[in-house]
Structure formats: structure tokens, C-alpha cells
Structure 1
Amino acid sequence: MLRSQGNRIFVEQSFEQDALLRMLAALHSLTEKKLYEEIHLDFSACDAAFAGPMLAVCSQALWLHQKGILTHLTLPNAPKIARLFHNTNWAHLMNPEHFAASDYRGHDHVAAIRFTKARDQQEAVTRLVDTILETTTDLERGDLAAVEWALNEITDNVLTHAESSIGGIVQLSRLGRKKLLEIAVVDHGLSIPQTLRSGPQKHLEDQDALLSSVQEGVTRDATLGQGNGLFGTYELARFSGGFLNLYSGHASLRLDHSIVSAQPEAVPFPGTLLVAGLCYSDSTTLAKALRFQGRPHEPSDSLELRYELNDENIIYLRVVDEVDSFRSRPAAEPLRTRVENLRRMVSHNRIVLDFEGISLISSSFADELIGKLFVRLGPTDFMDAIVIQGASPVNRNLIDRAILQRSAALFPANHKPS
């Protein structure tokens, strides 16, 4: 439920796709018709919120800020939902004067990232890929490459086609039980119907333009791109049994259970919102989904660029640069998961963990990172694959102790007192 009173918009209950266009209509009315210069977004009664519609509100708030219209946010009363607003960076993007930017890097959400130029975009994609490596243990390398390809394509579309004055915003969420990666990207620029009508397809209705945009090779200008970004992302969602929602101009498109439909919308969406759910429950499904002109496409991935350039087949990770803290078990878990994934995906390389510059790690950090690696890889593979260097004598002792304790648990007969 959504209602407005004066210059305040109240979001009550959950904020989902169905409430999004009502929110945009309310914002338009308050700023363009009633000419308020400050808007209060009151989510105090909100009990659930989702990335796609929330990114759209963030995009609208950033655009209003550019016009000199301030947006103020009241957080949800429910502590869990309030933390979600902080962690995902929604609070900062909607009300930057009051809420600091989020540095959250959790298992289920990556803080929403704004990008305005190519370097921002590449850094955002790199961070999202790192998060996948740090949280997802059963994704094959070809599937990861397909997800990274989609992230690159749909964020690049914002910079190439949208002409968005606020750039774009991208967010990644992971639904672990469903084995689903949800990607949301939004901009506040030219809509898909506008860009396609600037090319050869000048008379398309908006809903037909969205249907056309997810077909292979459709682009406003072949010199700017091949028109495969939306099509490939759509195919990844369709082939894997995921979903895709698209809002742009006076239309929306939905892919659900392999059925695609588009419809006109009375309330226009300023720019484009894409929400894609990519399922990885069946290994190599995503890798097989990318086909252009009937032929399989095998995209390169950042692992090749970032980790496989060493002539000696060594992956080098400086621990001080990879984690935010050295004093707790949760701080070590993402790096340990990334090392496991790198060992599985790039199996011919050795992995150097350099502890130089770290004065003291905790016993739980040593056990989570090194002790568990010893167990999960197995003693032989651990000795072959993992190189530990640069550790101070104290840290070396803590690492050795973690390995010995895990070894005693694995092989109790070898550790009986004589």
C-alpha cells in the first residue's frame, strides 16, 4: 500500500514491483504539479523491500537531487528491514545528506553501486564478480563467465545508450536456497523505446519495442553495439529457468516460467529498469545458454585476466588487501570461499597467500581461512596448491596450530599420545 499526504509519501507493507509505478506517479505529482522542493519518503511501516523497485526509487532520488529537490528518508521501524536499507546502500542513495555510504559485503546482498563512467562500471563488475566468488561455492567457471558477461553488457548499455545524467546503479543479490543470482540495473536516461525509435524502427509502440529489444541483433545503431546484451541476458534467464522484468517508457516486459509478455503502462518509467534472475541449480546451464547466430559463445572471464597472467602459474593474494579485519571468523570466510573457488576453477595454478603487513591475526581467523582450507582441499591438495608467505612468527604459529588442530580431527589415530 502506498499513499501521500502533503509532501510525504508513505510506503506501508511491502514495496514490490506492483508499487513501483504508483511511487513514480506520486513523485511526479508532488514535484512537477505541486512543485514541492523537498520530499519525504516514509518507509516506517514497510515490512519488505526488493532490489529492483528500490533501485528505481534511488535513481529517481538522485535525479531529483540534480534538479535541486531534496529527498528525506524515514527508515522502516522493523530493525531487520532498516539494516537492509543501510547495507544495500539504498538509504545513502535516497538521502545522502543523512546516511553514509554502505561498505557492506555480505552473503546475500552487495551494496548498490552507482557508476557514471567506464572505470566506475568496470570496478563495479569486478566487485560483483568477487562477491560471487566469495559467497557461491557451486558455480562452474563457464557459468561464472556467463554471469560476468551479462553484468558487463547490461551496465555498458547504460553508458552507451541511455545518456543518463546520473549514470546507472547496479546491485547483485543471491538467493542461496533457490541457487539464483538476481541482477538489477537502473538508469534515468533515454528509454529503450526512445533509443530504438532513433534508429530504423521509428514507429514501434513501446511494448513492441521492449519485445524487440530482447531479440538477437536488435540495436539502434550497429556502430555502437551488436544488440546482444539484452538478448543474451534474456536467454540466460530463460534457459536457466529464471526470470526477467523490464520497465522502460510506457511499457513493461516480464519473462516468467519461459513465458514472455509485454504490456503498455499508463505511468512512464524514466529510463530503464532491468531485473534478471539467473538460476545456477544445474551446472553449466548458464554457460550453454549464450548462443549467437546459432553458435555457442564462450566469453572470457576476469579470472583469466586477473589471475592467470603469471608466467609461473601462480595466483597471488595479499591478505591485507583482501579482507577488512583479521580478528574474526566471519572476516575470513569470504576469502576462504574465494580461494576454494579459484582452486576449483583454475586448478593448474598455485595460490600464494601473503600475510605481510599484518601484525596479528586471531586464532579463529587462522582456523577459518587456513584450517578449513586444509580440511576442504585435503592434505595433499592443500600442500600442492597453497603457499603461505610473509607471516610473522606469531601469525605463523597461529596458522600452524590451526592446521595441527584440524589434522588431529581428521586423523585422530595419528595424534594419540604415546
Structure 2
Amino acid sequence: MNITIDWLTKTTIQYFIKKINDGLSINRMDRCIEINFNATAPFPENLVPICGVIDYLKEIGFRIKVLYPKDSRLLQSGLSNPYKLPLNDYDLLSPTNRIWRYNTPEEVFKIVSAFVNHLNNKIVCAKGVVESFEWTINEIMDNVIQHSQSKYGYIMCTVYSNSHISVAIFDNGIGILQSFKGSKYRLRSPFDAIELAMRENTTRDPKIGQGNGMWGMKKIVNNNKGVLSITSSGVNISIDEHDTVLKHELKDKSIRMKTPYHLGTLVDFQFNCNNEICLSDIFGKNYEYTNLTLENLEDNQNRINVKISQFSFGCATRLAGESARNLVLNYLVQSNYSQIIILDFSGVSIIASSFADEFIGKLLQECGFIQFNNLIRITNISKENMSIINRSVMQRISEND
């Protein structure tokens, strides 16, 4: 069976499944599928469920061959072979634009930590965005493990140049409607199930959880003026940045092969990194989020220690300096500008002038001299590296004179 997917005109998982069903209607005994993606649309909401369906087809005995266009982004995404732990350090250092398969809490922790670290380096986020991002993907990934009865979950995150984050999480499980089976709730349709799941304190079994994951996600996305889409058991509910709710059913009613997409769940949401998210407005004034990243960096004087030698991106390029500056600015935001940040240069032999300018020179410009002097400390640095930094700082200061 040969399937050609043209994402220049069709971009949905329904289109992909219809192509498979059309092929099976011609020859139900054909267990070989060749999929030709002749255009690239590397968006998480498209790639993640297709990856899950391909994985499912392999498990039930289909032999899958995927042909990619010259653009290598699809090949690197893991569309036909999702990334799995354990992997080498490089893969976890560049976790975005890749589909990850997981099925244990330990894998969830490592994947989420990799996403958070990458986001801190990639872009400066408004207050509450990184914490909300971490909370949300933790909750939804855990939902897959706790409720879906799926062998695996799949997740992909993309950070766009316009300061938007897009995340898609998919499972091959029983769907939200069936997950409420045996509970006190009597639901008539998958629409009812999705709407119920987004209410506060709604859970199938209070012994497993309090039922605030989907509700919290909806409130966070709404607080950020982001967008949210949930598809499960053949129906979809979408909520846009104006809090407008849209409902629709999948078009393909005559399913000849029950694929996971018609049973399982796809959660797709987008944040705007420039829009603040106030978690206390959502969870109450007494809510305190524990930022484990900062907590692990704190010393006994409550200062945040950043070891420059441990930067995965090094100290030799301007791009590395930008990542370092983004990281420190995000730490300042996340600490509410209330903790001193120690920049520890021990173990760093030499830094590039471009790195020093992009990191320290521009950091001083963005913070201002007084705030920089109050909150930033540079320690364990060689005379040579300090001279390079001083020169970069003086040049930046002279630009403003």
C-alpha cells in the first residue's frame, strides 16, 4: 500500500487516517505501508498523533516505510521512530522539535527538565510562563500514565521565533469518556467527558488524584491568552485566545480500521512567552510553586549559583552568550528579582569577546547598572577573562554616552 501525504493542502491527522483506510478498503490483507510525505508541515499537533498511529500500526504487525522530503526537519523529528530514553546527552540538550515517547514517571521528569532548561536558554519569558509550562506538561503527561491505559505517551514541543510555545501530547489509550467508566459520573458523549475533565476537582478516582490537571491547564492557557485544543474519542473541543469554545466531530464516520486516534486523546496548547501568567490568581493566594531548578542552584545564603563551565553551549560564540544571558534573565524573573545570582567562572580557561559582550555586556544594558550591581556577582574568574568582560562592558557603556 502506497500513501502520499501532501501537507501543502492537507494538514490533519484525519486526512492521514483516511488515506490508510482508503488503502485498506482496496486490499485489507496488505500489511506493508509506504508513506510518502512530499511536503513539510512540522507542527506538533500534526506530527505527534501521526507518530502515535505509526507506532500503533507497527505494534499490530504492519511494516512501515516512510519517505521524507529533502527538508530534513521531518526526519529529525522522530516521526516514524520517536525518541526514547535513555539517550546521549546531546539529544536531551536539544529536546524541542522532536517527538518523545515515554511511559514512566522517571522519563517524564527527564523530558520535562530538558524542555525547561532549553526554554530558559532559548527565550526570555514573562513572569510565570516557565513555571506554568512546567506544571502543565507534567500534569498532562502524568494523565497519560495514570488514566489512559496506553502503553506509551508521545510529546513534542516547539519554540517559535515569535515567542510562542506549542506543545502536543498524544496517547493511544481508551479516551477521556472511557476513563470515567466506573465513576459516579454518567456521561452521554465524548463532548460531555472533555467538558467534565476541564472542571475543577473532577476525577474518576479520588485515591489517584484530585482531578485538577485539565482544569488547571485550561485556566493557565486562558490566563496567558493562549489557545487549547483537546481531541478524544472522535470529537474535538478548541478554546481560542478570546475564550471562545468551538466543538466539532471528526469527518471520517466510516472507520474501516479503528486507529488509536479515534479512541485516544490529543492535547494541544500554545503559550505566548510575552504574556505573564499569575498562578496565584488560578490556584489561590496561598499557592506556592516550588521552582526545583532554582532550588537546586541555591546555596546556604539563598543565592543562585550558576557555574559557567557547565554551560552546554560553551563560551566561544555570540550565540552561546545569548543563551547564557537568556538563562540569567529568566532566573531573575523566576526569583522575582529577589535573589543574588553568582556567575561562577571556575574551570573556564578563556572566553570569546563576542560571548562576553552578548552575555555580560548586554545583560548590564538590560538590567541597568544599579540592578546589575545589586543582583549579579562574578566570582572565580581569571584576570584574562575579567579583562575581556571589562572591555566589552566599557564598549557598551560608551555606546550610551
Instruction: List per-residue Cα deviations over 1:277-302 (Å, max 9, x = no partner).
Output: 23455434x536524xxx55735042
Partner of 1:368: 358
Aligned to 1:172: 157
Partner of 1:276: 269
- Alignment counterpart, residue 20 of structure 1, candidates 5, 13, 23: 13
Q: Give the residue type in structure 2 aligned to 1:119.
A: E
SS of match in other structure, 1:14 = coil
The match for 1:381 is 371
Distance across 2 between alignment mates of 1:14 and 1:289: 41
| SS of residue in 2 equivalent to 1:374 | helix
Alignment-derived partner of residue 157 in structure 1: 143
Distance 1:255 1:297, change over 3 A: farther
The separation in 2 between residues aligned to 1:15 and 1:269, in whole angstroms, is 22
Matched, 1:9 2:25: no
* Cα distance, 1:73–1:360 mapped onto 2, change above 3 Å: farther
Superposition pairs of residues 209-228 of structure 1, within 5 angstroms: 209-228=193-212
CA distance in 1, matches of 2:365, 2:147: 49
Partner of 1:129: 116
Alpha-carbon distance in 1 for matches of 2:80, 2:394: 46
Q: Is residue 126–residue 333 contact of structure 2 (8 Å, CA) maintained in 1?
A: no
Q: Partner of 1:338 in structure 2?
A: 327
Q: 1:344 to 1:94 in 2, by over 3 A?
A: closer
Counterpart in the other structure of 1:399: 389
Deviates more, 1:198-207 or 1:228-237: 198-207
Name whichever structure is richer in strand by fraction: 1
CA shift, 1:304, in A, is: 7.0
The structure 1 residue matched to 2:340, chosen from 347, 350, 364, is: 350
The aligned amino acid for 1:132 is L
Q: Would the alpha carbon gap of residues 217 and 309 (structure 1) be closer, same or farther in structure 2, given more than 3 Å must change?
A: same
Contact 2:297–2:306 under 8 Å retained in 1: no
**Per-residue Cα deviation, 1:9-54 (whole angstroms, up to 9, x for no partner):** 21113376x62122134346667973444432211x3143321121
Write the distance in 2 (CA, Å) between the matches of 1:394 and 1:384: 24
Corresponding residue for residue 54 of structure 1: 47
Give the distance between the partners of 1:235 and 1:68, measured in 2 at CA: 41
Give the 5 Å matches for 1:8-157: 8-14=2-8, 19-27=12-20, 34-43=28-37, 45-77=38-70, 79=71, 82-83=72-73, 85-86=74-75, 88-90=77-79, 92-93=81-82, 105=94, 109-140=96-127, 142-157=128-143
Asked whether the equivalents of residues 321 and 355 of structure 2 are also in contact (C-alpha less than 8 Å), the reply is yes
Deviation string 1:243-265 (CA, Å, 9 cap, x unpaired) is 21111123222223422243443
Distance 2:43 2:306 in 1: 34
Segments of 5+ residues of structure 2 without an aligned counterpart are: 85-89, 256-260
Write the deviation string for residues 173-226 of structure 1: whole angstroms up to 9, x where unpaired.
34454x543221112222111111242335532222222222222221111111
Query: Cα distance, 1:239 vs. partner?
Result: 4.1
Higher relative contact order (CA 8 A, sep 6+): 2
Residue identity matched to 1:248: S
- Once residues 281 and 77 of structure 2 are traced to their aligned partners in structure 1, the CA distance between those partners, rounded to angstroms, is 30
User: What CA distance in whole angstroms lies between the structure 1 residues aligned with 2:103 and 2:198?
Assistant: 24
Cα offset, 1:160, TM superposition: 1.2
Deviates more, 1:215-224 or 1:30-39: 30-39
Distance 2:130 2:57 in 1: 36
Count residues with an aligned counterpart: 386
1:207–1:264 Cα contact (<8 Å) kept: no
SS of 1:169's equivalent? strand
Distance 1:269 1:287, change over 3 A: same
Please state whether the residue corresponding to 1:13 is helix, strand or coil: coil
TM-score (norm 1): 0.80
**Cα 1:13–1:194 shift into 2, 3 Å:** same
CA RMSD of aligned residues (A): 3.2
Match of 1:414 in 2: none
Which secondary structure state, in structure 2, belongs to the residue aligned with residue 217 of structure 1? Answer: coil
Residues 1:282 and 1:328: Cα distance change in structure 2 (over 3 Å): closer
Question: Is the Cα–Cα contact under 8 Å of residues 234 and 244 in structure 1 kept in the other structure?
Answer: yes
Q: Do 1:137 and 1:341's aligned partners in 2 also have CA atoms closer than 8 Å?
A: yes
**Is the contact made by 1:240 and 1:278 (CA closer than 8 Å) also made in structure 2?**
yes
SS at match of 1:247: strand
Q: Structure 1 298/9 Cα, relative in aligned 2: closer, same or farther at 3 Å?
A: farther
Q: Which amino acid aligns with 2:146?
A: T
Q: Is the 8 A contact 1:246 1:252 kept in 2?
A: yes
Confirm or deny that 1:187 pairs with 2:171.
yes
Taking only the aligned residue pairs, the percentage that are identical comes to 23
Matched residue SS, 1:241? coil
In 1, Cα distance between equivalents of 2:210 and 2:50: 30
- Write the letter of the residue equivalent to 2:156: Q
Are the aligned partners of 1:316 and 1:354 in contact in 2 as well (CA < 8 Å)? yes
